[in-house]
Amino acid sequence: MTLHPNAIVGLKVDGNSIQIVDQLQLPHIKTYIHINSPDEAYDAIKSMKIRGAPAIASLAALSVSSLLSRSLSESPAPRFLASPDALKQYLRPILLHLNNARPTAVNLGGAIRRLATILDQYVGNENEPAARELAGALITEGKLVADEDVGRNITMSKYGAEWVCQQPKSLRTPKLNVLTVCNTGSLATSGYGTAFGLITRLHEISKLEDAFYTQSTPYHQGSRLTALELQSLSIPSTMICDSMVGSLFQHNEVHAVVVGADRIARNGDTANKIGTYNAAVLARRHDIPFVVVAPISTVDMDIPDGSHIPIEHRPAIEACLVRGVSYPVTNLQTPQPVTVQFTPLGIDKVYNPSFDVTPAELISAIVTEKGVAVKSLEHSSFDLSAII
């Protein structure tokens, strides 16, 4: 299946060249920036120029592939290609650095672990041809991390849409209203999206009435990015402020809440953008199915529950600012980026976790490319081993 021609491409790869759209400047300014090294990938991830669990994993892996691929054609060959051991010494700190860019999304660590495993498990001659062979295996794996994402997103979106359509309240109406949090579309993945993909699928099969989405403060992934993606795909949608979820549920029939995930623990506890937990509590109060859509790579079977998920806290200042654009009166065609502080200067004590954990007990279904895991209301955890 080809992606919609209007879908926004967050990550462009052409041979060894990698470009990302600078998500800090969206939705008004669409600038692509080149990522020329793993260091630049680290900076882009850390500064949120690219964000979203699968997307940051893809960029990190691709930056390593591209580095190695360019090295293979250098003459004279760089010293780290002298032997597999030299390559291991060179790459290990690079992988560690990338791994530390953001802590909560397990996909990043998972992608790095895939590369590290190839590196560590390589046994062969200690000569240059062997180092080149090892580099080739790493290049292939890095590209695979990014390439495999779109296909699985389409698969899980179909499974998720089917499941949502089959729920009792959904069966009583031709079209559904859903709510989502944060941004889980093309900008957060390699394409199509996870929870956003489910919404896209509902729209494609003419089952979507309206996609409500929260602004997702303080970074506004909803009002800046999800808004733009929904608009570019002409998907009917309505923005709400984060504080309006309860009111939305009181006054509208909402058939499902669909969200992505940054890390899912073995029992199904799920870390996702801050505000997801609030939506889950309110969904339970209003008897609305709460659905998590994420690739298997987001499931961390090494941790028993959500209390083990490291939660990233962002700098205080980020919660005190909004980014946008202004239009100079002399040139109404050319928006200029502006950042506005809306708190008094000097406010530096801010509680600013980037994610919260929704207990499995509040989740109705976890959808992956392998299928849908469900549990009844009285159960407080999932058995994910069936779909791993």
- Contact residues for ligand MRU, defined by CB under 6 A: 51-54, 105, 182, 184, 188-189, 194, 221, 260-262, 272-273, 354
Question: Minimum Å distance from CB 130 to ligand MRU?
Answer: 38
For residue 213, what is the enclosing H or E element? Answer: strand 208-214
Report the residue number, 139 or 182, with the smaller CB distance to ligand MRU: 182
Residues 6+ apart with CB under 8 A from 174: 207
Report the residue number, 68 or 235, with the smaller CB distance to ligand MRU: 235
Catalytic position from the list 22, 149, 242, 262: 262
How many residues are there in the chain?
388
262 catalytic? Reply is yes
Which residue number places its CB atom closest to ligand MRU?
Answer: 260
Report the residue number, 71 or 221, with the smaller CB distance to ligand MRU: 221
Report the residue number, 69 or 190, with the smaller CB distance to ligand MRU: 190
Query: Cα(208)–Cα(293) distance, rounded to whole angstroms?
Result: 17
Determine if the peptide bond prior to 218 is cis (ω within 30°): yes
- The SS3 call for residue 32 is strand
Report the residue number, 71 or 104, with the smaller CB distance to ligand MRU: 104
Question: Minimum Å distance from CB 276 to ligand MRU?
Answer: 8
Report long-range pairs for 315-318 (Cβ below 8 Å, ≥24 apart): 315/352, 316/347, 316/348, 316/349, 316/350, 316/352, 317/348, 318/218, 318/219, 318/352
Residues 6+ apart with CB under 8 A from 103: 310, 311, 312
Question: Minimum Å distance from CB 114 to ligand MRU?
Answer: 18
Can you tell me which residue has the tokens 């292939």?
140
Question: Minimum Å distance from CB 357 to ligand MRU?
Answer: 12
Query: Cα(35)–Cα(31) distance, rounded to whole angstroms?
Result: 13
Report the residue number, 188 or 256, with the smaller CB distance to ligand MRU: 188
Question: Minimum Å distance from CB 291 to ligand MRU?
Answer: 13
Burial class (CB within 10 angstroms; exposed 0-12, middle 13-18, buried 19+) of 371: middle
Q: In what order do the strands lie in the sheet with 32-34?
A: 11-14, 17-21, 32-34
Question: Minimum Å distance from CB 196 to ligand MRU?
Answer: 7
Greatest C-alpha distance within the chain: 69
Catalytic residue IDs:
262
